A and B are shown apart, each in its own frame.
Chain A
């Protein structure tokens, strides 16, 4: 079952701008993971945030988690053309079931 749902479905920004996408989910989670997929290729893990964490950073990526609202956000700062990709959140339930959302497609314009 698809637990995480990303919003927006698509996002177009200018190079250098920040990109923010959100993920909402329905049931309690163990952790939440974000992945990137370049067109037609395999997913690449970006960052994992545990249910007892509120914020994590990795380079230009910032992830927040609000378990009370059952939502997470991924912020990409100072975007580059190479950031053009689809971004997926994956929620891990307490019985270790990993469910992916449908993704947000990000286009970074030069």
Chain B
């Protein structure tokens, strides 16, 4: 089944404790991206990647890192999480770039205390 998977789905952590949210797609998509969703603000893009080893900042990249060593994986790293990063995070992928339909993962609900 074609899908985007994210792990973990739920995470409660403390300020400053490094964490990684994994994202994987099995559709051979070139384009992958991370969004955060907060009430009343819609989805805001954190980082995106046009292909392996090519990443770029979205609208809200501060406090996040990404890497794209393999085509299928695009992990999101929070080196020192803070409470304002409490949010619902989505990974998405598409065939080539953002002009194609986006396939979204199920989401990761992160709480930073």
Residue numbers in A under 8 Å from B92 (CB-CB): 43
List of B residues within 8 angstroms of A48 by Cβ = 101
Interface size class of B (residues with CB under 8 A): 20 to 34
CB-based nearest A residue for B107: A42
Whether A1 and B104, one on each chain, are in contact in the complex, defined by CB atoms closer than 8 angstroms, is no
Contacts of B35 in A (CB 8 A): 100
- Asked if A98 and B45 sit within 8 Å, CB to CB, the answer is yes
Q: A42-B4, A42-B105 are in contact. List 12 more A-B contacts (CB 8 A).
A: A41-B106, A41-B107, A42-B106, A42-B107, A43-B43, A43-B102, A45-B102, A98-B45, A98-B102, A99-B45, A100-B44, A102-B40
Q: Which residues of B contact A (CB under 8 A)?
A: 4, 35, 40-45, 59, 88, 90, 92, 97-99, 101-107, 109
Q: Which residues of A contact B (CB under 8 A)?
A: 1-2, 30-31, 33, 35, 40-45, 48, 88, 90, 92, 96-103
